[in-house]
Every structure is written in structure tokens, then in C-alpha cells.
Amino acid sequence: MTDPRKYLFRMLIFIFIVSAIVVVLNKPLIGAFQANIAINGLILSVLFIGIIFLCRQTIKLVPEKNWIESLKDQNRTLTDPILMAPLAHMLGKESNLKNFSISAAALRSVLDGVAGRLDESREISRYLIGLLIFLGLLGTFWGLIGTVGSVSNVISGLNFGNQDTSLIFSSLQEGLETPLEGMSTAFSSSLFGLAGSLILGFLDLQLGQASGRFYQDLENWLSSSVKISNNNNQNPLADNISYSENLSEGAAQHLSELASALTNIEADRSRLLNQITELNTQLRRLADQIENDNSIQKKLPVIEAQLQSLSEEARNHYSSQVDIIKSETRALGTSIKKQRYSNHLIKI
């Protein structure tokens, strides 16, 4: 496998070159640093922390590489690694890879875990690079704010009356000191921020190359050294892995059955809701009919009273008609009697 110390050596050479440039340009750099000690000191502190972190992350790959080399030599005398902890846990006390077999899914899981840990270790370095750029821009805008305000004060303070030209230029020079200090703050912060991000970017590039090479070597080594287990393998460790896979398949089957059961329950619930809706509709219709029946029952006494009044009127009308007929009949009988009597008198 490729030794990560090769990339660490590149990082140290780069740091040495940068340090030599700083020593050569120490006077202007010291002047730029003193323009704003607070922000520039914070930028250099973040840069120093980032350099230590990236070198440390590169050094952490060396024990992992040595552990893999010990497995190749069938001599596991080293302590278990951090990055390769899943593989070390699967191996257990096994030191001979010829007696070790693993499924393709488990092998891919190990490689994905290692890749995730390698990417996770670089998140902090990327954040530090962005932080350096942010601090540089912060110092730039801070200096520009002071510069704009100072320039406006200088322009408003100029008086071209009866004063001597030398006095005007001397006051102008004194007034321009503050804007120039603001400009020096802005440019120095940008200088240190961008230079620091450039340094950490190169170191992060070396760490990325070391991590990528380590991952490629690990993948090639596992693919060539580890046996892929099958159903006929009698290795106890492989049996444990296949047992875990069977458990996973059983769990998946139970989940599928549970999903189908939930689907059936949902269908039954939908049918029950439809039946309840139909029942509510029928109950509503029945309630309407009952209300109609109640309204009819409420109208029955009125109808009965009207019928009674009509029967009484009919009875009264009938009795009056009968009386009229009787009186007319009596009058007719009286007339007939009178006519008979008059006829009898005429005959006599």
C-alpha cells in the first residue's frame, strides 16, 4: 500500500517554502499585520489550527496502513484501528485472511463506511478554508467602512479661504492618515485571509489524495485477498454473516406482510366508512320522514276541527233547507186546500 507519509512529506515541504517566503518578506508582512492586529491575529490563529489539523489527519492514516500490512503478514500484533474498526470487528481474532470470507454486501458496507469516515475527516478542513475567506472579507469591509467615513470627514474639513497652501496640504496629509489606515486594514486582512485559504487548500488537497489512495489500495486489497462467501461455505464467520442476512430477509418479509395487512386494514376501513356514510344517509332520510310525519300529525287536529266545522255547517244548512222545504210543503198544502175549497164553493 502507498505510504501516507509521502503526502505528509509534501505538506511539510510546502509549509517550509511558505515559511521561507514569510522570512524573506517579514518587514512588509509585519507592517501589514500591525494594521489590524485583532483580525489578522485571528486569521493566523485559524491558519495555524488548520495546518495542525490537516497534518494530524494525514498522520492518522499511517496506523491504518500499518494494521493492513500486519494482516498481509498474518501478524496481528498491533492494536485495532479506528478507521478500519468495522473490518476488525468482523475479523475478530482471525489473523489469516485465507480462512476469512465475507459477503459482497458486507464488503461494500465496509468500504462505504471507510469512505464516509474519510470524507467526514475533511469537513472541518473545508470549513476552516471558508472561515479564512470570510475573515479576510470581514477585515476588508471593516477597513473600507472606516476609509469612507474618514474621507468624507477630510473633504468636509478642507478650507481654501485665506490659508496658505502649505497649511492646506499639511492638514490634508494629516486627514488622510485615517483613510490610509483603513485601506491598510482592508488590504492586509484580504492578504492574510486569501493566503491562508490558499495554504489550507493545498494541504487539504494532499490529504484528499492520501485518503483517496488509501481507499483505492484498501479496495484492491480486499477484492484480491478476501473470499466472497456463498451458500455452500462452511466458514463459521460466513455462517454468522449469512445468518444475519437471513434475519434481514426474514425481517423484510415480515415488513412486507405487515404492509399488506395494513393495506387490507385500510381497505376494510374504507368500506366501513362507506357503509357508515350510507347508514348516515338513510338515517337522515328517516329523520326527514319522521319530521314530515310529525308535521302531518300536528296538522291533523286542525283538519279535524275544519271537518267538524264543515259538518256543522252542512248540518245547519241541511236543517235550514229541510225547514224551508217543510214550510213550502205546508204552504203548498194550504194552497191546495184553499183551491179545493174554492172549487167546491163554485160548484155549489
- Tens of pLDDT along 145-158? 767 666 665 555 55
Q: What is the rounded average pLDDT for all residues in the chain?
A: 74
* pLDDT band at residue 348 under the 50/70/90 scheme: low
pLDDT for 305 beyond 90: no
Task: Name the residue type at position 160.
Answer: F
pTM over 0.95: no
Closest CA to 204 of 51, 20, 18, 48: 51
φ/ψ of residue 158, rounded to 5: -75, 140
Percent of the chain with pLDDT over 70: 65
Element (H, E) at 124: helix 123-157
- With contact defined as beta carbons under 8 Å apart, do 88 and 94 qualify? no
State the cell numbers at 244: 444475519
**Of 68, 83, 79, whose CA–CA distance to 121 is shortest?**
83
Nearest to 132 by CA among 86, 180, 82, 194: 194
Task: Please spell the DSSP secondary structure of 289-343, one letter per residue.
Answer: HHHHHHHHHHHHHHHHHHHHHHHHHHHHHHHHHHHHHHHHHHHHHHHHHHHHHHH
Instruction: Give residue 168's pLDDT.
Output: 56
Distance CA 96, CA 99 (A): 6
Q: Quick one: which of 83, 45, 62, 198 has its CA closest to 129? A: 198
What are the residue ranges spanned by the domains of the chain?
A: 5-228
Contact present, 53 and 11 (Cβ < 8 Å): no
User: Does 234 score more than 50 pLDDT?
Assistant: no
How do strand 101-102 and strand 227-228 relate by DSSP bridges? parallel
CA dist 86 and 106 (Å) reads 10
Q: Residue length, the chain?
A: 348
pLDDT tens digits, one per residue of 263-288: 878 787 777 777 777 777 777 787 77
DSSP-derived 3-state class of residue 102: strand
Amino acid at 271: R
